[in-house]
Structure formats: C-alpha cells, structure tokens
Chain A
Amino acid sequence: MLGNMDMEEMLKLLAPVIVLQFVLMIFCLVKLKNDKVKYLPKWAWALIIIIFNFVGPIVYLLLGRERD
C-alpha cells in the first residue's frame, strides 16, 4: 500500500509502460543473440538492455549493432 493508492491501482496505471518495457527488452535480447555487436561484448550489452529501462534497449539498437 502506498498512500491512498493500492498496488492494484498502481499496476493498472503502469501496465502499458511495463508491457512496453518488457516487449522491448525481450525483442532486444533476441536480436542480441543473433546480431554481431560492437564497442562492448555481448554480455555487457545484455546487462545494459536489462538494467537500463527503455534507454538500454534503444542504445543497443542504435549504437551496439554491427550493421550489415
């Protein structure tokens, strides 16, 4: 319980954001498995994708992938 808002209400509010973050994270981890990477090793990119919500996956997509 937080203030006058219970956990269920909070989850309902945050649901779209949580779903977006989860989908983006899974998508990037699957891409990471198949991609060639640059600047950092794969395990470091995986950590960045998992730890930094939203920013991590996008940084990986924009900077971490070796282009064909």
Chain B
Amino acid sequence: MMTFKAYLKKEFIEGIRQYKYIALATGIILFSILDPVMLKLLPSFVSNKIPANLIHQLFEFKPKDALANYIKELFQIGTLFIIFTAAGSINEEIYSQKIVFPFSKGANKSQIVLAKYLHFEIAICLLLFVGLFFNQYYANLLFEGQKIAVSDIVPVYFLLCIYYLFVISLTLLLSSFTKKNISAGILACTASYSTALLSQFEKLKKFSPYNLILLTSNFGSQDVKTTLVTTILLTLIFLVTTVFRFNSLEVN
C-alpha cells in the first residue's frame, strides 16, 4: 500500500514537472469556453456570404446546442490531447530505465500501473468537471432559450468520465506494447476514432464506447446500460492486460 501511495504521489509530481496538467487542461477546458463563443460569433463571420433571413434559420443556437458542440469537440480534439499526454506513461518507464530503481527496491509492478491509471483518472475527472461548469456558464450566458440545468450536466459528466477512463486504459495498454510515445499515441487515436466507425452499424452501436459520446449529446435520454457495461468491461480488460504486459517486460 505504501508503494502505491508513493507511486501515486510520484505520478502527480511528474505530471506537474512534465506539464501534463497544462496539456490536459488545455484539451478539456479550452473548448468549453471557445465553443460557445465561436458559435455565438458564427453568424457574424458568415453575414456577408449568406442572406440575413437564412442566417437566422441556420444559426439559431440554444444553450444545449452549445453543450452538444462542446462534447463533439472534446471527442474530436480533446481526445488527442488526452491520448498524447498519457501515451508515454508505460514505455518511457521501461525504455528510459526510470523503473529500475523503484523495481529494485521491491516496487510492485501492478501497483505502478494502477497508480498511473488512477492519477490520470483523477486529473481527467476534475478537469471535465471544470470544463462542463465553464461550458454551462458560457452557454447559458450567450444563448437564449431553455437554460442548461445542473441535472442536465450530471449524467453527461459521468458518461464522459467513463468514456475517457476507457480511452486512458486503451492508451496505457498500447503504451506498454510500443517503444515510442508517438507510436502509442497514433495507435490509441486510431483505435479511439474507430469506435466512432463501429457506431455507424446499428447492431454494433450499443457495444461501442463512442455511443457514450452520442448519448451525452442526447443528454442520456436513451438506454445506456449495454454501452456502459461494455465500456467498463473493456476498460477492466485493458487494465488487466496492461498489468500482465508490464509484468512480463524485462527491466534492465
């Protein structure tokens, strides 16, 4: 237990030293402010190209549209920031030989992986909370129509947290199979975006973790059970596989 606590503390310190939190915060919080502002300014930007009556019909956004747009941006670009922040976590430990000292002191490899996972889990959940809070504030401030209530935000928050926990477990797994963080990042991005392709097939849709993103856009009004169970199962499988893979790697 002491090893786990020490390693978790080490992950937080390293997160600060390597500016991981700045990257995560930019990826998650930036769009929460930028999206509603850009949506608000969009009619002004295109006012010279589209007739005024059409602008009114095309760009009449409500606060919930701004939230849905934020979730979409978060998936398209925020995921990149999250994946590339986590991509070097496992392989750097092995190939830069940082793991040698704690391992020779009897550090438990499983706990090292779990500490890494928990560290990202805490950081992402906190930042998502702040991001959704900012987005709700700006969306309600800038757009007219039915305001976003806290009760709308809560299910969205939990579904997004679960989706990004899946993404982190996938990234850590791929990081344990690659030597460079760029390769791990590219593979994790490909796999994450492929889940969006899976959801194009009606029969497979509910088994695709990306369905959580689609459900958040509908404010969780549809059945989420199957997607939730599949995503949590996949997350656990990826985590256990990462632990096994990390245990089997030779530390020089």
Contact B23 A3 (CB under 8 A): no
Contact B45 A2 (CB under 8 A): yes
Contact A58 B37 (CB under 8 A): no
- Our pick among B23, B40, B44, B96 for the contact of A58 (Cβ within 8 Å) is B23
> What is the bound-complex CA distance between A30 and B26, given in angstroms?
18
Contact B47 A3 (CB under 8 A): yes
Known: A3-B47, A17-B34. A61 touches B41 (CB 8 A): no
| A-B pairs with beta carbons under 8 A, tally | 53
CB nearest neighbor in A for B92: A67
Known: A16-B33, A17-B37, A63-B84. A24 touches B44 (CB 8 A): no
Identify the interface centre among A5, A54, A58: most chain B CB within 10 Å of its CB. Answer: A58
CB nearest neighbor in B for A61: B19
Contact B44 A5 (CB under 8 A): yes
CB nearest neighbor in A for B80: A55
> What is the bound-complex CA distance between A59 and B27, given in angstroms?
11
Contact B96 A3 (CB under 8 A): no
What are the interface flags for B123-138 relative to A under an 8 Å C-beta threshold, 1 for contact and 0 otherwise? 0000000000000000
> What is the bound-complex CA distance between A46 and B33, given in angstroms?
26
- Our pick among B20, B26, B37, B44 for the contact of A3 (Cβ within 8 Å) is B44
Per DSSP, chain B at the interface is helix
Contacts of B44 in A (CB 8 A): 2-5, 10
Contact B41 A20 (CB under 8 A): no
Contacts of B85 in A (CB 8 A): 62
Distance in Å: Cβ of B223 to nearest Cβ of chain A: 36
- The number of chain A residues with a CB under 8 A from chain B is 19
- Residues in A8-65 with C-beta less than 8 Å from chain B: 10, 13-14, 16-17, 20, 24, 54, 57-59, 61-63
What are the interface flags for B1-29 relative to A under an 8 Å C-beta threshold, 1 for contact and 0 otherwise? 00000000000000000111011001100
- The number of chain B residues with a CB under 8 A from chain A is 26
- Our pick among B19, B40, B45 for the contact of A13 (Cβ within 8 Å) is B40
**Which residues of B are at the interface with A, using a C-beta cutoff of 8 A?**
18-20, 22-23, 26-27, 30, 33-34, 37, 40-41, 43-45, 47, 55, 81, 84-85, 92, 96, 142, 181-182
Top 10 A-B residue pairs of the complex, sorted by shortest distance between their CB atoms: A3-B44, A3-B47, A2-B44, A61-B19, A5-B44, A58-B23, A13-B37, A62-B84, A17-B34, A58-B26
Q: List 24 A-B contacts (CB under 8 A).
A: A2-B41, A2-B45, A3-B47, A3-B55, A4-B44, A5-B41, A10-B44, A13-B142, A14-B37, A16-B33, A20-B30, A20-B33, A57-B26, A58-B22, A58-B27, A61-B18, A61-B22, A62-B19, A62-B20, A62-B23, A62-B85, A67-B18, A67-B92, A67-B96
Known: A17-B34, A58-B27, A61-B22; 12 extra A-B contacts, CB below 8 A, are: A2-B45, A4-B44, A5-B41, A13-B41, A20-B33, A24-B26, A57-B26, A58-B22, A61-B19, A62-B85, A63-B182, A67-B96
